[in-house]
Amino acid sequence: MSLLSSFKSLRLEGVSRDFGVVNALRDLTLEIKRGEFIALLGPSGCGKSTALNCIAGLLPTTRGQIMLDDKRIDTLPTEDRGFGMVFQNYALFPHMTVRANVGFGLKMRGVSKAEAAPRVEQAIRTVRLDTQAHKLPGHLSGGQQQRVAIARAIAIDPPLVLMDEPLSNLDAKLRLEMRQEIRRIHQSLGCITIYVTHDQDEALSLADRIVVLRDGTIRQVGAPEDLYARPAHLDVAEFMGFRTRIAGRVQAKDGNRVQLAVSGTTLDGVVQEALTGDAAIAAIRPDDLVPVAPDAHGIDGVVEAIEYRGRDFFGQARTKGGDELFFRSEQRLAPGASVRLGAEPHRVLVYPGA
């Protein structure tokens, strides 16, 4: 369609959905440029699927506008928006062959058979399903069904492809493969892809920008690297894998750097979100918290569990004060052993405490 060649951006302006206390959406404002891959990331119930369904027109919005360049599209019915969508359980038409599934959108647009056929074949080739095109979805594996769903979404050359947790039903190995595939397809099309997921690895590896949602509001928008290294809020940090969280009090402050008093010792860190009082919480990734020499500076704890994860060990310990520590270790430590753990100050992120 000609839309693809002409449009520059998709804008969500204060998009809200009020109904039903759960899955509500509040004032979602975001501009997405053509060619961008956006991930909506958040725990279940955060409103990410609601946002996607509102963009697709499957749910009506209560307020706000959705604009494709200067054209308002939130008032259009779903079938007139012309987007491609990949559903969580694929939602393939079970009574149609792969080819008919992929060609469905073109057929609905009244594209002639002669014109549609090569586009359908092209889409099927893109997802590497040439040999399965005559089969019914029920006869395909999960990964293949996934590819059909993607082919169906891209066959219509949509300006926007929406993906709703498309990999959540696949096993781990297939998920990694499909991730690369999706990235490759996105790059070859040059459209906007909006990808909903609760898996931060997926979001980090796929997206150009990640939108973290919680309780229907945007918590942070940023490039994967930013989000990974510098989560703006504690809940985002939690979600991005900062598993160790130690409550403490601010002892000294020097610009961005603070020293916290925690569990009978001190911890140096970097302030991420303006502190309101002297209560603070330090967040550390397991990979940045490691055993240090007994005479070095660090937090003492007792090892509770240790698990092998390939190159190193993942451990869990508890301080005398009851804080849980998650750390990485080169050696297998025995449960019950004492351990002193330390982290580089710039890897310790400090947020306001309760």
Shortest reach from residue 95's CB to another protein, in Å: 5
DSSP state of 240: T
Residues in the chain: 354
Shortest reach from residue 3's CB to another protein, in Å: 13
Q: Which of 8, 71, 108, 330 binds another protein (CB under 8 A)?
A: 108
Interacting positions 158-217 with another protein (CB under 8 A): 162
- Rounded CA-CA distance 259/240 in Å is 23
CB 272 within 8 A of CB 305: no
Q: Between 53 and 244, name the residue whose CB sits nearer to another protein.
A: 53
Within its chain, how far is the Cα of 305 from the centroid? 29
CB 313 within 8 A of CB 256: no
For another protein (CB under 8 A), the number of binding residues is: 33
Shortest reach from residue 56's CB to another protein, in Å: 6
Q: Between 52 and 339, name the residue whose CB sits nearer to another protein.
A: 52
Shortest reach from residue 97's CB to another protein, in Å: 13
Closest CA to 248 of 238, 258, 240: 258
Per-residue x/- track, 41-60, another protein (CB under 8 A): ---------------xxx-x
Q: Between 105 and 315, name the residue whose CB sits nearer to another protein.
A: 105
Q: Between 110 and 118, name the residue whose CB sits nearer to another protein.
A: 110
H or E segment to which residue 183 belongs: helix 172-189
Shortest reach from residue 87's CB to another protein, in Å: 5
Q: Between 45 and 222, name the residue whose CB sits nearer to another protein.
A: 45
Interacting positions 76-105 with another protein (CB under 8 A): 77-85, 87-89, 91-95, 104-105
Shortest reach from residue 212's CB to another protein, in Å: 25
Closest CA to 323 of 345, 346, 305, 299: 299
The two beta strands, 217-222 and 324-329, are unpaired
Is residue 253 close enough to count as binding another protein by CB under 8 A? no
Q: Between 83 and 326, name the residue whose CB sits nearer to another protein.
A: 83
Shortest reach from residue 198's CB to another protein, in Å: 18
Q: Between 63 and 347, name the residue whose CB sits nearer to another protein.
A: 63
Shortest reach from residue 183's CB to another protein, in Å: 22
Shortest reach from residue 38's CB to another protein, in Å: 18
Q: Between 135 and 230, name the residue whose CB sits nearer to another protein.
A: 135
The two beta strands, 279-284 and 160-164, are unpaired
Q: Between 88 and 266, name the residue whose CB sits nearer to another protein.
A: 88
Q: Where are the alpha helices (DSSP H) in 233-279?
A: 234-239
Q: Which of 62, 75, 187, 331 binds another protein (CB under 8 A)?
A: 62
- Rounded CA-CA distance 93/353 in Å is 51
Q: Which of 48, 119, 152, 285 binds another protein (CB under 8 A)?
A: 152
Beta strands per DSSP E along 168-223:
192-197, 209-214, 217-222
Please name the amino acid found at residue 150.
Answer: I
Query: Which residues lie closer than 8 Å to 148 by C-beta, 6 or more apart?
Result: 90, 92, 98, 101, 102, 127, 129, 137, 140
- Rounded CA-CA distance 115/270 in Å is 59
Is residue 18 close enough to count as binding another protein by CB under 8 A? yes
Closest CA to 34 of 191, 221, 195, 188: 191
- Rounded CA-CA distance 49/42 in Å is 10
Q: Which parts of this chain interact with another protein (CB under 8 A)? A: 18-20, 56-58, 60, 62-63, 77-85, 87-89, 91-95, 104-105, 108-109, 152, 156, 162
